[in-house]
Amino acid sequence: MARYKMLDGNAAAVEAIAMAKVGVISAYPITPQSSVAEKLSELVDKGTLKANYIRVESEHTAMSAAITAQLTGVRAATATSSVGLALMTEVLGMASGCRVPIVMPVVNRALAAPWSLWCDHQDTMTVRDTGWLQFYCENVQDVFDLTIAAYRIAEDKRVQTPAMVALDGFFLSHSMQKLLIPEQAEIDAFIGPYIPKNLRLDPKDPVIINNLTPSDEMTEMRWQQMMGMKNAETVIDEVFQEFEKTFGRRHSAVEGYCMEDAEEAVVSLGSMSGTAKYVVDQLRAQGRKAGALKVVSFRPFPYQKVREALENTRKIAVIDRTAGLGGQGAPLWTETAAAMKDSGKPVINYIAGLGGRDISMYTIENIFADLAENNGSSPVWIDLKENAENLRQVEMYV
């Protein structure tokens, strides 16, 4: 029987990784991911999890060790956050390019500078084009469910692409919530043992991995990766359907809330999506036709589903938890605007919640209020303080 537990997001990620029976863990602690690395190490120490734990000196090595371990034919686990993910960037491409389907929780935290420890999507957005799948969690149950589903999706023969499960730093990683954990036998039946579908590493039976690849093969190998991403859209739907049949909880690449007759909609990622649903309820009670669209799968971006969900709206607000510096808008807006490019509907970008600033119900109410009046001015920094220009004034002789 499945049982309820009180866990924070990091513990839920650990629970999923342990139930996937990983054989090797190579992780480097970083706030707010640290308790993932620590709890996994405890499980290995107690013998609850039969795995080798490699203590590494950096995130660059954490990912390198995880890739080579997984290439020998076991599931390998690691997890990171923020500047740790940035240090890992070079090796992220090795995992996706060599088609090593690692599943990695990433606890979202702002990149430096300004030095921050708090939630912001800048870290995962910066690596959005490294060829990894990216799933964003709304709550702690999502962290567990999407991690389990990610193993199935990433390891599918048609996909063979690594996956990041992104959870908002502190809002999810350190927030205790009630969640339902299935039996180990149910998880075993759902994801099964790890079977490598590409060539595997064996010292007695050598193969070549990642030799210098000239221009006459590069395009084709990138095309293979593109097909993996494309196939992932179908596989995500199949796996989520099977997940619902097995565990009774519905997940989808994009989830609409009151979208059927919505005229104004907010598009969101991650933990802010729960708040967006709450505000939609409040506005509905006032008679406004509001709706919310949560994007779960950012890579691959399910642009057809997004377009269908937003088809009947009049105005669209897209909330990005990253600044998108120098762009016409931030990444979620760019993708949504591209999906809606032929519709002629106004798609307004709202920048909010940077470096741990709360995206409260008031923030989202303000976004709906601005959206009603907005004549195409975008992006809007919705929670910007009035003193932004003279935030840290000093006295100086000039």
Chain contacts with other proteins (rule: CB under 8 A)? 97-99, 160, 198-200, 202, 204-214, 216-217, 221, 224-225, 228
Tell me whether strands 52-55 and 24-27 are parallel, antiparallel or unpaired. parallel
Residue nearer to other proteins on the CB measure, 176 or 226 = 226
Nearest distance from residue 60's CB to other proteins, in Å? 20
For residue 253, the minimal CB distance to other proteins (Å) is: 23
Least distance (Å) between residue 196 CB and other proteins: 11
Cβ partners under 8 Å of residue 171, min gap 6: 119, 270, 271
For 46, other C-beta atoms within 10 Å of its C-beta total 8
Q: Which is nearer to other proteins, 67 or 267 (CB)?
A: 67
Query: Nearer to other proteins by C-beta: 221 or 369?
Result: 221
Instruction: Give least dist CB 49 to other proteins, A.
Output: 26
As a whole number of angstroms, the distance between CA 124 and CA 392 comes to 29
Between 34-46 and 9-19, two packed helices, what is the crossing angle to 10 degrees?
Answer: 40
Q: Which is nearer to other proteins, 42 or 217 (CB)?
A: 217
DSSP string, 17-39: HHHTT-SEEEE---TTTHHHHHH
- Minimum Å distance from CB 217 to other proteins? 8
Separation between Cα atoms, residue 359 and residue 379, nearest integer Å: 16
For residue 92, the minimal CB distance to other proteins (Å) is 14
3-state SS, residue 319: strand
User: Least distance (Å) from other proteins to the CB of residue 98?
Assistant: 5
What's the rounded Cα separation, in Å, for the pair 104 and 109? 15
Residue 83 CB coordination number (10 Å)? 17
Per-residue tokens: 113: 């500078």
At position 140, the amino acid (one-letter code) is V
Amino acid found at 221: M
Nearest distance from C-beta of residue 231 to other proteins, angstroms: 12
If the CB atoms of residues 23 and 196 are measured against other proteins, the closer one turns out to be 196
**C-beta closer to other proteins: residue 188 or 202:** 202
Which residue number, 231 or 275, has a Cβ lying nearer to other proteins?
A: 231
Q: CB–CB of 294/253 below 8 Å? A: no
Nearer to other proteins, 218 or 369 (CB): 218
What is the helix (H) or strand (E) element at residue 84, kind and residue range?
helix 82-97
Cα–Cα distance between 107 and 346 in angstroms, integer? 32
